[in-house]
Amino acid sequence: MAEQPQVIVQPAVAPNKQYGARKDGNLKSIFAASPVYLGELTDAERKRTYQELALDGTVVGGNGINSYNRDFVDAPDLTEVETGGGGLPASPYMPNLTSPGPGSVSATDQPVYNGELPDPETNVEFGSGLGGLANPADTSGRIAEQNIVTIGSYISGRSYQGSDGQS
């Protein structure tokens, strides 16, 4: 993320020098109907629009998904995942790898997986963060709290304080 604030639509005041400086009067004259110069597009308006269109609420009928809530209100709780045979996963983190048996291609015919499951305490993944064992029911609320103000305060490798597995 940039360490310095970036121009959205309202640039800093142009320096008053002969060469190599933006001439605001000329630009306003040339682009008199521009929503930037009419005051319709401002930094505050763009931030508000981004918050509404990218971070808040439910998307309905978009990108092949009937609806999607950006606040993750239905995040799964991995402690409540039912495991076993008959098409169920072997664990909340791993599918059932068993074959349904000769002559069947139906997952409902799968027996319970009796192989060795990875130990969640020693299963370390690449990168930073809480890893693949973080429970979405625990982390989604913190992510949903993000807004246009907090986005500007992200810390490299974290989406919220503590999400890197550190304090």
pTM above the 0.85 mark? no
Residues 104-142: tens digit of each pLDDT: 999 999 999 999 987 766 766 666 667 677 888 888 888
Domain-wise residue ranges, the chain? 1-41, 43-77+144-151, 79-134
Quote the mean pLDDT of the chain: 83
Q: Is a pLDDT exceeding 70 seen at residue 157?
A: no
pLDDT, residue 100, reads 95
Q: Say which residues have a Cβ less than 8 Å from residue 60's Cβ, sequence separation at least 6.
A: 66, 67
